[in-house]
Amino acid sequence: MHYIDGVPRDQLVLFAERLDDAIGEENPVRFLDAYVEQLNLVSLGFKQPAMVKGRPPYRPGLLLKIYIYGYLNRIRSSRKLEKECQKNIELIWLCGRLAPDFKTIADFRKENGKGLKNIFRQFLRLCKHLELIDCRQVAIDGTKLRAQNSNNQVYKRDKIAALEKKIEARINEYLEELDRNDTHEKDEYEVLNKKLGGRLKKLRKLKDKIGFIKEVFADNPDLKEHYNTDPDSRRQRGCGRGGPGYNGQIIVDAKHKLIVANKVTNEQNDERQLAPMVAELQKTKKDLGLDAKTTVITDAGYYNEYAIVETEPKDDIETYVAHPRDMKRKEQKGKPNKSKIPVNGFEKDDFQYDREKDEFICPEGKVLKKIPGRHGRNKGGLKTHVYHCAECTECKSKELCTKNKRGRHIYAAVQIKELLEYRDKVNSKRGKAFMQQRKELAEHPFGTIKETMGCRHFMQKGIEKTGNEFSFISFIYNLKRVMNIMTMRQLLQAIS
C-alpha cells in the first residue's frame, strides 16, 4: 500500500527557498507587518533605544510586531514569545529570522506603556477612515480581570498582629530545635540543621516583610487591607473567589462591535463609572471628529442619580441606564421578599408620587408630605427631601410597611421629577429595545477577550500599567475584529 511521504531530512536543495514563500498572500501577518511599518512610533510615545558601543539594539517596531502577534495568538509570556520566535514560521518571517531574548521582550512592554496605550487610539483613526465606527449608538460595560497578586499576598489590618506573633513563635521553635541539635553528634544532624537553617531564613525574611506592612498600615489609618504584590489591586467578584483584580471598562460601538474607549479602575462595582466613561467617549469623538449625537446604553449596575443628572443634559449624549428596581423586579419575580421592608407591595416604588402636589401616596391611600427644611444626601450624592406619613399609627398595614415607630419615611432626590421622567424614558418601548441590544453589544468583546484571546489576567502591576495593557488588549480585539470584517486587500490599500 502506498502512502504520502515527506521530503527526506538529508536531501540537498539545489535552489534556496525564499522565506517569503512560506507565508501566503492572505496571511494576517502581512497586514500586521505593513501596519507597524507605517506607524510613527516616536510620536506614539515609544522609546527609542540609546545607541551604544557594541551590539546594536533591536528596532522598537520589531518588538511591537512580536507583542501584537503574541496577543493575537494567546501568547503573552515573554519567555514563550522568545521560543516562538525560534520555531514559529510566521514569527520567523515577521522578525526576519531574529529572535530577541525574553528579557528584551519583557523590558519593551515594561518601558513602553504609553506607546502601547496610544496605539489603541491610532488604530481607531484607521477604523474611522474605513467607516467602521460612527459612535451613534454605544454600550458601556465592565468585567473583572485578575491582578498579579495572589490571595496569599493580601494582608488584613486586624490579623497582621496575630500573624506576626505566629511567625515569632515558629522562629523560636526552630531556634530551640537548632540548639538541641548542636548538643548531639555533628555528622548525625548536619543535614537536619541545614534544612532548619533554610526555613529559619525564610521566616526571618517574612517577619521583615510583616514589619514593613505594619508601617504601611500605620501610615494609612483608613487602609483595611494591603495587597503586597500589586498595592493598587482590590478584591473583585469574579476573580477566583473574590481575589485581587481590576475592573476593566469598555465602550462598544454598535456598528461593528468595536471598542471605542476603555478604562481600568479598582472599584468593585460600576456605580460610579458612568460619568468617567461618558467623558472618555467625548474624548474619542473629539479625537476622531465625530459630532453626531450618541445614544449610550448601560445596565442597572451603572445607575447613579447624580451621574444621570450630570450627563443627561448634554447635547451630544443621550443615556439609557436601567433602574435597579426595575431589573430587581424582573429577577425576583415569584421569589420571597428579602429587603428591609417587611412585605412585598410596600417598597418605595409602590408609593405613587404626585408631581403637582409634590407628595407621595402609599398603597393604603395615606399621604406622605415633605418635611420643610429637612434634607439629606442619597447614595448617589444628590440632595434629598424627606417625606413623612403622619397617619401611620392608625394604619392597619403599618406592620407590613415599616418597623419605624415614628412611621414611614421616604427619601427622594430634589430632582425627583426629572429622574421619574428619565425612568419613564428608559422603560418606554424605545428604551426597552435599546436595553435588549445592550447584551449583544457589550458581552461580545468580553467573550472574545477572555475566551478567544485568553486575557483573563493582567501581566503588569499597578493601575497605570494595567490601564496601558488593557488599552493594548482593546487594540488587539479591534485588530482581530477588523481583520474578520475586511479583506486583506482592503486593509493593505487603506494603509498604503
Q: pLDDT (tens digit, 9 = 90+) per residue, 132-158?
A: 999 999 999 999 999 988 887 888 877
The residue ranking higher by pLDDT, 118 or 13, is 118
Q: Specify the pLDDT at position 334.
A: 47
Could you tell me if 306 and 431 lie in one domain? yes
**pLDDT (mean) for 387-412:** 86
d(CA 221, CA 216): 9
The predicted model gives 50-72 an average pLDDT of 89
113 vs 108: CA distance, rounded Å: 9
Residues 33 and 104 in one domain: yes
Query: With contact defined as beta carbons under 8 Å apart, do 103 and 78 qualify?
Result: yes
Residue pLDDT, tens place only, 186-195: 555 555 555 6
Asked if the structure places residue 6 within a domain, the reply is no
Alpha helices in 130-265 (DSSP H): 157-182, 186-219
Residue 141 and residue 158 in one domain: no
Question: What pLDDT shows up at residue 104?
Answer: 94
Same domain, 220 and 263: no
Is residue 398 domain-shared with residue 431, that is, in the same domain?
no
- Going by pLDDT thresholds of 50, 70 and 90, the confidence category of residue 346 is confident
Structural domain contains residue 119: no
Residue 13 lies in a domain: no
Type of residue at 130 = L
pLDDT digit string (tens) for 162-184? 777 777 777 777 677 666 666 55
Q: Could you give the 3-state DSSP secondary structure of residue 452? A: helix
Domain range for residue 360? 341-417
Identify the pLDDT of residue 218. 79
Query: Cα(93)–Cα(33) distance, rounded to whole angstroms?
Result: 10
Residue 447 in any domain: the answer is yes
Q: Is residue 391 one of the residues assigned to a domain?
A: yes
Instruction: Assess if residue 443 is contained within a domain.
Output: yes
Residues 362, 408 within the same domain: yes
One domain, residues 96 and 213: no
Q: Does some domain include residue 100?
A: yes
- The average pLDDT across 313-319 equals 84
**Are residues 258 and 222 part of one domain?**
no
Looking at the structure of the chain, the number of domains it has is 4
Distances (CA, A) of 214 to 160, 167, 231: 7, 14, 14
Looking at the chain, the whole-number percentage of residues with pLDDT higher than 70 is 91
The b/e string for 459-495 (b: 16+ C-beta within 10 A; e otherwise) is bbbbbebbbbbbbbbbbbbbbbbbeeebebeebeeee
Angle 254-256-260 (CA atoms, 0-180°, nearest 5)?
A: 70
Residue 232 inside a domain? The answer is no
**Residues 179 and 219 occupy one common structural domain:** yes
Cell of 439: 447584551
Q: What is the pLDDT of residues 254-293, one digit of tens each?
A: 999 999 999 999 998 898 899 999 999 999 999 999 988 9
Tens digits of per-residue pLDDT, 89-135?
A: 999 999 999 999 999 999 999 999 999 999 999 999 999 999 999 99
- Evaluate if residue 308 carries a pLDDT over 90: no
Which percentage of the chain shows pLDDT scores above 90?
Answer: 44
pLDDT at 14 over 80: no
One domain, residues 188 and 204: yes
Predicted local confidence at residue 324, as pLDDT: 86
pTM: 0.86
For the record, the C-alpha cell of 444 comes out as 461580545
pLDDT greater than 80 at residue 465? yes
Q: Are both 160 and 301 inside the same structural domain?
A: no
What is the rounded CA–CA span in Å between residue 379 and residue 305? 9
Q: For position 332, what pLDDT does the model report?
A: 52
- pLDDT, residue 470, reads 96
List the one residue out of 44, 76, 122 whose CA is nearest residue 460.
76
Q: Alpha-carbon distance 493 to 496, whole Å? A: 5
Same domain, residue pair 87 and 34: yes
Predicted confidence at residue 31, as pLDDT, reads: 94
For position 285, which CATH number holds? Answer: 3.30.420
- Give the model's confidence band at 343: pLDDT under 50 very low, under 70 low, under 90 confident, else very high: low
> What mean pLDDT is predicted for residues 344-349?
81
Distance separating alpha carbons of residues 364 and 381, to the nearest angstrom: 31
